[in-house]
């Protein structure tokens, strides 16, 4: 019996807890992608670098605050800097819309033209971030590191294995829950949110109802920028901030949004968790887990790892390809916010 429980604790520690945290980060990222798709009707390839930009702005202010001795310990200082990062990112997104996307909107350009334009924006943001903060790994997490340490867990219980919950993980899940509830409240109940859904559902009829498309687009960028920054900062606190990693995050984020159905916010959340758990479960080495779970001498010799962590992006890619082949509108049905 203890064997099974130890196995479950082990699994919680290395699969479930990190999976939930990573899933929340992907979900917030995918929500941004899916909202932009629903309203502006293109896949925004600049989203990963928008996350990087927002995180960079937050990191810079965090360092400044730290040097001034400002602290909200046990919480990370970055939380205090987050609103500043969000505002900077909103300004950047609105500028990109003003100088790039609005032109194509007036031209009534095809979605693929927008997509290519967004790749251009991606390169600009990418260069900007590397120019300002550099390409290296940056650490900016401070405050209390753990909510629960494995050692304490073991002391409190009598198990061999323990569960570690990092502050960043707890913070990620709580923030994600707040963000998702606020976003859905906004979309469901507020006048502006309803006008966004109406615009996403039927653009022509929205115009006939007197809904101002430029205003809808502006609100969408504001929300997308905020979501990108929040997702980026949470990911950075959990792992670390390295611009290239954020570019790479584009794949699992798009996979999440597409699996859930582009334009469908609930789908984006479900997709985020699906991708995260696929990645974590496929790259976890089950050796120790099986040693606990199976009777004594059945314990395996090898690592029992399906895929090395180096290949984790392959997981998103395979899922993405499968979904696009079997159900191109995503599992939860795409289009319409």
Partner 1 sequence: MNGAEDYLIGEHLTGGYGGANILHDCNIGVGRGEIAVIVGPNGAGKSTAMKAVFGMLNLREGSVRLDGKDITGLTPQARVAKGMSFVPQNHNVFTSMSVEENLEMGAFIRRDDFTDTLGQVFDLFPILKEKRRQAAGELSGGQRQQVAVGRALMTKPKVLMLDEPTAGVSPIVMNELFDRIIEVAKSGIAILMVEQNARQALRIADKGYVLVQGRNRYTDTGAALMANPEVRKAFLGG
User: Toward partner 1, which CB reaches closer, 197 or 288?
Assistant: 197
Are 260 and 267 spatial neighbours (Cβ–Cβ below 8 Å)? yes
Are 259 and 319 spatial neighbours (Cβ–Cβ below 8 Å)? yes
Q: Measured from the CB of residue 265, what is the shortest distance to partner 1 in angstroms?
A: 12
If one counts every other C-beta atom within 10 angstroms of the C-beta of residue 229, the result is 31
User: Toward partner 1, which CB reaches closer, 152 or 201?
Assistant: 201
Q: Measured from the CB of residue 289, what is the shortest distance to partner 1 in angstroms?
A: 43
User: Toward partner 1, which CB reaches closer, 196 or 319?
Assistant: 196
Q: Measured from the CB of residue 253, what is the shortest distance to partner 1 in angstroms?
A: 24
User: Toward partner 1, which CB reaches closer, 129 or 216?
Assistant: 216
User: Toward partner 1, which CB reaches closer, 182 or 205?
Assistant: 205
Tokens of 147: 């909510």
The packing angle between helices 250-260 and 312-326, to 10°, is 30
Name which of 230, 172, 138 is nearest 22 in CA terms: 172
Q: Measured from the CB of residue 192, what is the shortest distance to partner 1 in angstroms?
A: 10
Q: 275: which DSSP letter?
A: H
The packing angle between helices 17-40 and 250-260, to 10°, is 70
Q: Measured from the CB of residue 22, what is the shortest distance to partner 1 in angstroms?
A: 30
User: Toward partner 1, which CB reaches closer, 19 or 265?
Assistant: 265
Residues near partner 1, by CB under 8 A:
191, 194-195, 197-198, 201-202, 204-212, 336-337
Q: What is d(CA 46, CA 293) in angstroms, rounded to the nearest whole number?
A: 45
Tell me phi and psi for residue 146, to 5 degrees. Answer: -125, 145
Q: Measured from the CB of residue 81, what is the shortest distance to partner 1 in angstroms?
A: 37
Contacts of 54 (CB under 8 A, 6+ apart): 85, 86, 88, 89, 225, 228, 229, 230, 232, 233
């Amino acid at each position: 019996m203890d064997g099974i429980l130890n196995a479950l604790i082990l699994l919680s520690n290395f699969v479930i807890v990190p999976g939930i945290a990573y899933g929340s980060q992907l979900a917030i990222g995918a929500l941004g992608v899916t909202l932009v798709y629903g309203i502006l009707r293109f896949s925004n390839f600049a989203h990963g670098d928008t996350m990087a930009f927002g995180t960079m702005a937050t990191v810079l202010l965090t360092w400044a605050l730290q040097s001034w001795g400002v602290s909200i310990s046990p919480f990370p200082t970055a939380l205090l800097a987050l609103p500043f990062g969000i505002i900077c990112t909103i300004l950047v997104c609105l500028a990109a819309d003003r100088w790039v996307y609005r032109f194509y909107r007036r031209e009534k350009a095809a979605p693929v033209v927008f997509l290519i334009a967004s790749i251009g924006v991606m390169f600009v943001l990418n260069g900007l971030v590397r120019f300002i903060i550099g390409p290296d790994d940056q650490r900016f997490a401070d405050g209390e590191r753990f909510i629960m340490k494995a050692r304490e867990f073991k002391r409190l219980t009598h198990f061999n294995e323990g569960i570690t919950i990092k502050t960043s993980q707890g913070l990620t899940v709580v923030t994600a829950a707040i963000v998702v509830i606020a976003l859905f409240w906004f979309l469901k109940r507020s006048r502006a949110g309803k006008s966004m859904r109406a615009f996403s559902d039927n653009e022509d009829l929205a115009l006939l109802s007197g809904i101002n498309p430029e205003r809808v687009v502006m609100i969408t960028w504001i929300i997308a920028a905020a979501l990108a920054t929040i997702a980026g900062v949470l990911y950075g606190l959990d792992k670390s901030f390295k611009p290239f990693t954020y570019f790479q995050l584009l794949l699992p984020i798009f996979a999440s949004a597409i699996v859930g159905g582009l334009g469908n916010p609930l789908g984006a959340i479900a997709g985020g968790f699906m991708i995260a758990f696929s990645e974590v479960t496929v790259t976890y080495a089950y050796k120790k887990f099986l040693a606990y779970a199976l009777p004594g001498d059945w314990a395996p010799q090898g690592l029992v790892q399906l895929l090395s962590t180096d290949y984790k992006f392959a997981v998103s890619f395979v899922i993405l390809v499968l979904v696009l082949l079997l159900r191109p509108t995503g599992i939860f049905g795409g289009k319409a916010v």
